[in-house]
Amino acid sequence: MAKENSGFSFKGELGYDDGRFYITEIKKDSEETFDLTAKMTQYVGRTLSISGKEELDIEPVSGV
């Protein structure tokens, strides 16, 4: 059976304020905040796949 996908993606800092989740995307010259709670509300009652990934800086090994 053929399927159609609908999706979205954000990359930024997750925030939480007054019962709502926000994503702030930080770019070179600007930052924009998006209402993640409002976006997720569009998918209520649908089957949804969600994943998350955190990026952490690591220190290089010295002397190698």
In a domain, 24, yes or no: yes
Which two three-digit tokens encode residue 61? 């090994």
Q: How many domains does the chain have?
A: 1
5 within a domain of the structure (yes/no): no
Within a domain: 40: yes
Render the burial of 2-15: b for 16+ CB within 10 Å, e for the rest. Answer: eeeeeeeeeebeee
Per-residue pLDDT, 12: 92
| Residue 64 counted as domain residue | no
Whether residue 29 lies inside any domain: the answer is yes
Per-residue pLDDT of the chain (64 residues; tens, 9 = 90+): 898 888 888 899 999 999 999 999 998 899 999 999 999 999 999 988 889 999 899 999 887 7
Q: Would you mind telling me the total number of residues written for the chain in this entry?
A: 64
Stretch (H or E) spanning 39: helix 36-41
Residue 5 has what pLDDT?
A: 85
Q: State the pLDDT at residue 40.
A: 93
Q: Which residue segment(s) compose the domain that 42 sits in?
A: 11-46
For residue 15, what pLDDT is reported?
97
- Assess if residue 58 is contained within a domain: no
Contact 22, 34 (CB under 8 A): yes
